[in-house]
């Protein structure tokens, strides 16, 4: 399909060089071919990479510990400090460290924090005002250059509700109006003043794509491309072809740059210490016969942020999150991914995934879906509640996602429904497996499974203490730790913390009261 001569890491290091040096490259030394710097886009350079977390030493003692890694430990202990889990096991085996804050979890359940792979919180916040419609850049069906983080409003009240429901990590995606909606962003659920304060440090890049009814409806109603499913598919191919050609253009530039550098080196070598004067005026060197003046370095191609995201998908650095309902469309998207050499990390919604579960297992694509949403649109008509159970049975990583600021508050209930639906039809789904739909599998979907999703030593201390079984409708999240920091304490905070938006909305719930000297308003 496309031909490339260099690994992307080198290409990008050249990009960085190109961006850094505007004029003459005389006298500069190019980096070696083994350069392995991370492929940073300009906005990535400033991202927090290795934060130092200082969180207290906490021991959760006596609860039923569900690790999402195969273990359910009655009377268990989880210990964490400075953001990381340091011990997990039975109370019989784990000594409580001196100085630990001991939280009694008897009668309660302890699990990893819930991870939602599909959220529009912050980009479609509540209240649903026209001023808040920031989730779809629906002016062009292909907008890989836009980033969800740039729309994200950290004062969305939904965020606080989600934390109070045990959600510790979310992937916020652009909407599904576009074939390629833009870059998603992964947030760690510490409420903050800015999007950057909530950004998950070091999380992989993600890209939202959408197939099916939404793009063709949005653009079809305007009588513009695409208005059909074949238009959708053509749109992906065109976009990825551009990205591949973009990569080729940089590769060619890199070849030319290397060739130029060779000439430059020969020329410099031939001229030795005359270089300084050459730099000052070229005519002085023109009499040399064994090396030709290479002239100015070849100019790099124009940089295109959107194509770089697509190229990142081709290179496997960007996790492709693909909204797709129907089995036949998912299969077609897999074919397109093979044509262009990118991988689909997860199909989202994917209500017909059960029909092609063998294919999905072979492709190692996770399925982010609901327990039982169905029928609200034609492409959701064949949804069945056993979807997740069948996928799990077939070895596909299932994920319970929300796509909803309401549903994100009860994801364990959704897992309970999907687990029960399978069991009622003789498909054994363990509670550990159902818990993985909420934790370990979404962590993999986001490329964070080495850091999140299970209660194991060394993992990030995103931990929830539930008032009862997480699968009971009557259960609440009592304690929610993110990076080992207590972000929600139901006894302390009540139903949920509030964001700025909800401050001062109800200052007069009881009406006027008789004045007294101590209730006077005004300055202190």
Partner 1 sequence: MITTTKLALSLAIVFVALPASAQPRPRVVAPPLPVFAITGARLRTGDGPALENATVVVRGERIVSVGAGAAAPSGATVLDASGLTLTAGLISLMTPIGLAEIELESSTRDTGHEGDDADAIRAAFSAADGYNPLSVLIPVARLGGLTTALSVPDGGFIPGTSAWVDLAGRTPASVREPVAALHINFDDEGFTAEHGARSAAMLALRELFDDARLYARSRAQYDRGEFRDTDVSRLDLERVVMALNHEIPVVVRTARSTDIVRVIALAAEYGLALVLAGAEEGWMVAQEIADAHVPVIVEPLADLPTRFSAIHQRYDNAALLSSHGVDVMLMAPGAWDIRNLRQEAGNAVAAGMDWDAALRGVTSLPARVFGMDADYGSVAPGKLANLVLWSGDPFELTTAVRRVIVRGGELPLRSRQTELFERYRTLETTHRGYREDFAVHAAPSEPELVDEDD
Told to check if 424 binds partner 1 by CB under 8 A, we report yes
Q: Which stretch binds partner 1 (CB under 8 A): 67-75, 96-104, 317-325, 385-393?
A: 385-393
Find the binder of partner 1 among 382, 449, 456, 489 (CB under 8 A).
Answer: 382
Indicate the burial class of 153 (C-beta count within 10 angstroms; 0-12, 13-18, 19 or more): middle
Contact between 4 and 248 under an 8 Å Cβ cutoff? The reply is yes
| Full DSSP string of 82-142 | TTEEEEEEETTTPPPPTT-EEEE-TTSEEEEPEEEEEE-TTTSPSS--GGG--S--TTSSB
Work out whether strand 366-369 and strand 344-349 pair parallel, antiparallel, or are unpaired: parallel
Find the binder of partner 1 among 19, 95, 378, 457 (CB under 8 A).
Answer: 378
Instruction: Give φ, ψ of 62 to 5 degrees.
Output: 100, -5
Told to check if 511 binds partner 1 by CB under 8 A, we report no
In angstroms, the CA 380 to CA 214 distance is: 12
Told to check if 384 binds partner 1 by CB under 8 A, we report yes
Told to check if 413 binds partner 1 by CB under 8 A, we report yes
Nearest approach in angstroms of CB 461 to partner 1 is 27
Find the binder of partner 1 among 309, 416, 455, 482 (CB under 8 A).
Answer: 416
Query: Which two structure tokens, joined as six digits, stand for 88?
Result: 């997990």
Q: Which stretch binds partner 1 (CB under 8 A): 78-86, 194-202, 225-233, 328-336?
A: 328-336
Find the binder of partner 1 among 106, 222, 282, 476 (CB under 8 A).
Answer: 476
Nearest approach in angstroms of CB 85 to partner 1 is 28
Number of residues interacting with partner 1: please give it, by CB under 8 A.
Answer: 67
Instruction: For partner 1, give the closer residue by CB, 391 or 461.
Output: 391
In angstroms, the CA 365 to CA 361 distance is: 7
Indicate the burial class of 126 (C-beta count within 10 angstroms; 0-12, 13-18, 19 or more): middle
Told to check if 80 binds partner 1 by CB under 8 A, we report no
Nearest approach in angstroms of CB 175 to partner 1 is 15
Find the binder of partner 1 among 21, 495, 500, 503 (CB under 8 A).
Answer: 495
Placement of tokens 């730099």 in the chain: 279
In angstroms, the CA 185 to CA 203 distance is: 8
Nearest approach in angstroms of CB 381 to partner 1 is 6
Residues in 456-475 that interact with partner 1 by CB under 8 A: 471-475
| Full DSSP string of 151-209 | T--TT-HHHHHHHHTTEEEEEE---SSSSEEEEEEEEES---SSHHHHBPTTPPEEEEE
In angstroms, the CA 407 to CA 412 distance is: 10
Find the binder of partner 1 among 357, 397, 451, 488 (CB under 8 A).
Answer: 357
Nearest approach in angstroms of CB 87 to partner 1 is 31
Told to check if 338 binds partner 1 by CB under 8 A, we report yes
Q: Which stretch binds partner 1 (CB under 8 A): 34-42, 63-71, 446-454, 498-506?
A: 498-506
| Full DSSP string of 329-345 | HHHHHHHHHHHHT--EE
- Nearest partner of 445 among 341, 322, 351, 330, judged by Cα: 322
Told to check if 502 binds partner 1 by CB under 8 A, we report yes
Placement of tokens 């836009």 in the chain: 146
Which letter, b or e, does each residue of 464-493 get, where b requires 16 or more Cβ atoms within 10 Å of its Cβ?
bbbbebbbeeebebbbbbbbbbbbbbbeeb
Told to check if 345 binds partner 1 by CB under 8 A, we report no
Instruction: For partner 1, give the closer residue by CB, 140 or 153.
Output: 153
- Nearest partner of 211 among 308, 352, 312, judged by Cα: 352
- Half-sphere exposure in the Cβ direction for 147 (13 Å, CA): 16
Residues in 102-161 that interact with partner 1 by CB under 8 A: 126-128, 157-158, 161
Sketch the per residue contact string, 156 through 185, with partner 1: x for CB under 8 A, - otherwise.
-xx--x------------------------
Instruction: For partner 1, give the closer residue by CB, 28 or 476.
Output: 476
Contact between 60 and 463 under an 8 Å Cβ cutoff? The reply is yes
Told to check if 258 binds partner 1 by CB under 8 A, we report no
In angstroms, the CA 442 to CA 224 distance is: 35
Told to check if 406 binds partner 1 by CB under 8 A, we report yes
Cβ neighbours of 202 (radius 10 Å): 14
Instruction: For partner 1, give the closer residue by CB, 32 or 272.
Output: 32
CA 108 to each of CA 100, 179, 465, 472: distance values in angstroms, whole numbers, following the listed order: 19, 44, 7, 12
Nearest approach in angstroms of CB 410 to partner 1 is 7
Nearest approach in angstroms of CB 459 to partner 1 is 27
Sketch the per residue contact string, 209 through 248, with partner 1: x for CB under 8 A, - otherwise.
----x---------------------------------x-
Told to check if 33 binds partner 1 by CB under 8 A, we report no
In eight-state DSSP terms, residue 49 is -
Nearest approach in angstroms of CB 158 to partner 1 is 6
Find the binder of partner 1 among 383, 463, 480, 486 (CB under 8 A).
Answer: 383
Instruction: Give φ, ψ of 316 to 5 degrees.
Output: 85, 10
Find the binder of partner 1 among 140, 256, 363, 449 (CB under 8 A).
Answer: 363
User: Quick one: how far is CA 281 from the chain centroid?
Assistant: 52
Told to check if 279 binds partner 1 by CB under 8 A, we report no
Told to check if 428 binds partner 1 by CB under 8 A, we report no
Q: Which residues bind partner 1 (CB under 8 A)?
A: 1-5, 126-128, 157-158, 161, 213, 247, 314, 331-332, 334-335, 338-341, 354-359, 362-363, 372-378, 381-386, 390, 405-406, 409-410, 413, 416-417, 419-420, 424-425, 471-476, 495, 501-502, 505-506, 509
């Amino acid at each position: 399909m496309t031909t490339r001569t260099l690994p992307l890491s080198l290409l990008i290091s050249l990009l960085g060089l190109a961006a850094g040096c505007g004029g003459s490259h005389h006298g500069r030394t190019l980096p070696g071919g083994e350069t392995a710097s991370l492929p940073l886009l300009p906005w990535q350079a400033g991202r927090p990479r290795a934060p130092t977390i200082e969180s207290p030493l906490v021991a959760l003692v006596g609860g039923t510990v569900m690790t999402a890694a195969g273990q359910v430990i009655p009377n268990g202990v989880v210990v964490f400090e400075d953001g990381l889990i340091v011990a997990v096991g039975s109370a019989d085996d784990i000594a409580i460290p001196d100085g630990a804050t001991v939280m009694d979890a008897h009668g309660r359940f302890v699990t990893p924090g819930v991870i939602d792979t599909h959220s529009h919180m912050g980009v479609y916040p509540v209240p649903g005002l026209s001023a808040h419609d920031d989730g779809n850049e629906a002016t062009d069906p292909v907008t890989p250059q836009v980033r969800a983080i740039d729309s994200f409003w950290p004062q969305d009240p939904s965020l606080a509700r989600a934390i109070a429901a045990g959600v510790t990590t979310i992937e916020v995606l652009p909407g599904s109006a576009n074939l390629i909606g833009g870059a998603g962003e992964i947030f760690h659920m510490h409420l903050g003043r800015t999007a950057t304060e909530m950004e998950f440090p070091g999380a992989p890049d993600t890209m939202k794509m959408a197939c099916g009814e939404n793009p063709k409806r949005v653009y079809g109603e305007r009588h513009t491309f695409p208005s059909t499913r074949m238009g959708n598919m053509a749109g992906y191919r065109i976009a990825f072809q551009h990205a591949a050609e973009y990569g080729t253009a940089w590769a060619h530039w890199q070849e030319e740059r290397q060739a130029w550098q060779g000439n430059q080196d020969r020329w410099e070598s031939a001229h030795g210490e005359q270089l300084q004067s050459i730099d000052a005026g070229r005519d002085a060197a023109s009499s040399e016969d064994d090396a030709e003046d290479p002239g100015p370095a070849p100019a790099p191609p124009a940089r295109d942020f959107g194509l770089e995201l697509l190229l990142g998908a081709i290179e496997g650095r960007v996790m492709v999150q693909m909204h797709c309902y129907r089995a036949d469309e998912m299969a077609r998207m897999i074919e397109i991914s093979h044509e262009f050499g990118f991988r689909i990390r997860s199909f989202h919604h994917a209500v017909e995934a059960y029909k092609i579960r063998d294919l999905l297992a072979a492709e190692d694509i996770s399925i982010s879906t609901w327990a039982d949403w169905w029928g609200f649109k034609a492409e959701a008509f064949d949804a069945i509640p056993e979807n997740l159970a069948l996928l799990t049975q077939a070895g596909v990583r299932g994920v319970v996602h929300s796509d909803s600021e309401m549903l994100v508050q009860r994801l364990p209930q959704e897992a309970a429904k999907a687990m029960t639906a399978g069991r009622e039809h003789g498909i054994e789904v363990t509670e550990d497996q159902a818990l993985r739909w909420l934790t370990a599998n979404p962590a993999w979907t986001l490329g964070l499974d080495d850091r999140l999703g299970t209660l194991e030593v060394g993992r990030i201390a995103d931990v929830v203490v539930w008032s009862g079984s997480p699968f009971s409708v009557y259960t609440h999240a009592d304690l929610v730790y993110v990076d080992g920091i207590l972000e929600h304490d139901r006894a302390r905070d009540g139903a949920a913390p509030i964001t700025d938006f909800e401050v001062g909305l109800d200052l007069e719930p009881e009406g006027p009261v008789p004045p007294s000297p101590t209730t006077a308003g005004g300055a202190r």
